[in-house]
Amino acid sequence: MTPHELLAHSDGGQPWPAGAEPATDMAAAYRQALAMRVLRLTRGERPGGYKIGFTNRTLWQRYGVFAPMWGTVWQAGLRRCEPGRPAGRLDLGHTCEPRIEPEIVFGIARTPPAGADLQQLFECLSWLAPGFEIVQSHRPGWKFTAADTAADNGLHGRLLVGPTRPVGDLAADGARLHACLAAARVSLEHEGRVVDQGCGADVLDSPLAALQHFLVELRACPGAPELQPGDVVTTGTWTDAWPVQPGQRWCARFDGGLGELSLLLD
């Protein structure tokens, strides 16, 4: 499949045709994804940051993907909660087999230096927030290869960012933020019933460690744009990805001072 064909299926929320082969390896997949990014920019879309996927090691065997990947978050699909109001809405229109994931989202204050350690990353963060990512698969039945997921913009669909909190309010330094996030847990609720639970340590040891891994991979990818001040980065699901439909209500309750977030799907 060409980048134009990939974008057309993304726009229409249509699955890839049987036998479609967007890329045979990760390097080719990222070339396809970056070419599709250029097409989006050319028609006036604005990027809002990045998503990191498959950071949760407990899910690798289930989906047959054994390393993290990443994609672009676009402003058109990015929503932020009103200050102090931990609730929002997302539109599932033109998504393909959408699923929901509770995550921690970071706000970038400045571009991290090369080889940044956890403390240097901490110093480059503005805020963190609970988030809901809507992920999607253009491979029917969520049966894909790792290269498919990268070519498919990291399976990203939509992102709701909850009320933000300065990282310094949660921890005094990078080591303590890493430990806080690793120890925290989340309960994922659908219509008031707990359907799944997870732990921050499952996300490459912590969402902060996931961000560190992502920066290495981003900078190793030829042609990938640098992380910029103002970008958001959502760091990967703490639970399995659950199928969703319009009209549903979901809630993620994080402990460790991370807050909660409710979502209504349209």
Indicate whether 79 pLDDT > 90: yes
CA distance 165 to 126: 8
Summarised one tens digit per residue, pLDDT across range 201-239 is: 999 999 999 999 999 999 999 999 999 999 999 999 999
pLDDT at 83: 86
Summarised one tens digit per residue, pLDDT across range 44-61 is: 999 999 999 999 999 999
Residue 199, CA distances (Å) to 103, 114, 147, 252 in order: 10, 29, 27, 12
pLDDT band with cut points at 50, 70 and 90 for residue 84 = confident
Q: What is the mean pLDDT of residues 28-49?
A: 98
Q: Which of 122, 154, 124, 151 is closest to 136 using CA atoms?
A: 154
Domains in the chain and their CATH numbers?
Answer: 3-265 (3.90.850.10)
Summarised one tens digit per residue, pLDDT across range 163-190 is: 999 999 999 999 999 999 999 999 999 9
pLDDT at 107: 98
- Average pLDDT score, the chain: 97
Residue pair 235/52 in contact by the 8 Å Cβ criterion: yes
Whether the model clears a pTM of 0.95, i.e. scores above it, the answer is yes
Indicate whether 29 pLDDT > 90: yes
